[in-house]
Amino acid sequence: MKSPDVILVNEKDEAIGTMEKMEAHQKGVLHRAFSVFIINDAGELLLQRRALEKYHSAGLWTNACCSHQFPGETTAAAAHRRLQEEMGFDCELHEIFAFTYKSEFDNGLTEHEFDHVLLGVYNGNILPNAAEVCDYRYLPTRQILELIKNEPDTFTIWFHKALPMVLEHMKIPSV
């Protein structure tokens, strides 16, 4: 089955075309993506553990959800869609920054993304999609930072890159 197209962008996040998602990851082409971070009223971050069947970063801990915008879809609409599809809830989200990263995986795929990071607050029920998520939990940031220090290989590469900027935005020290 063909995977959906992603939006190819330049370094200024200007759309320059589309490409099938797997082909973009095989070629390491810069494309638009998003990452959603969720906190609760206690200030804890929601982590999900990616399903063991995912095509990369399977079984690793990461932020609430990540994905790609469809051609013609806004970042906000895509973020709400995937939060519902992956975690079974939706909430108000605000984009807090964007960054670019490139990372090669052992399976020959490369993530080269212009990643829009969104933040929301949620305290209700979570109904994760088992095809996307095998576990989830809220943790205080100090505990997450300790886990990253002691078990860095249990977290996704984009989480390592985005978390310090998210904490800076939230005025929480990352060291």
Residue 63 lies in a domain: yes
How many domains, the chain? 1
Q: What average pLDDT does the segment 126-150 reach?
A: 96
Structural domain including 40 reads: 5-169
Catalytic residue among 65, 66, 111, 132: 66
The yes-or-no answer on residue 113 being catalytic is yes
Q: What is the pTM of this model?
A: 0.94
Catalytic residue among 65, 86, 111, 113: 113
The yes-or-no answer on residue 23 being catalytic is no
Residue 144 lies in a domain: yes
Residue 175 lies in a domain: no
Contact criterion met (CB below 8 Å) for 156 and 163: no
Find the CATH number of the domain harbouring 103: 3.90.79.10
Q: What is the pLDDT of residues 94-111, one digit of tens each?
A: 999 999 999 988 888 899
Contact criterion met (CB below 8 Å) for 67 and 78: yes
Residue 38 lies in a domain: yes
Residue 32 lies in a domain: yes
Q: What is the pLDDT of residues 44-76, one digit of tens each?
A: 999 999 999 987 888 999 999 999 999 999 999
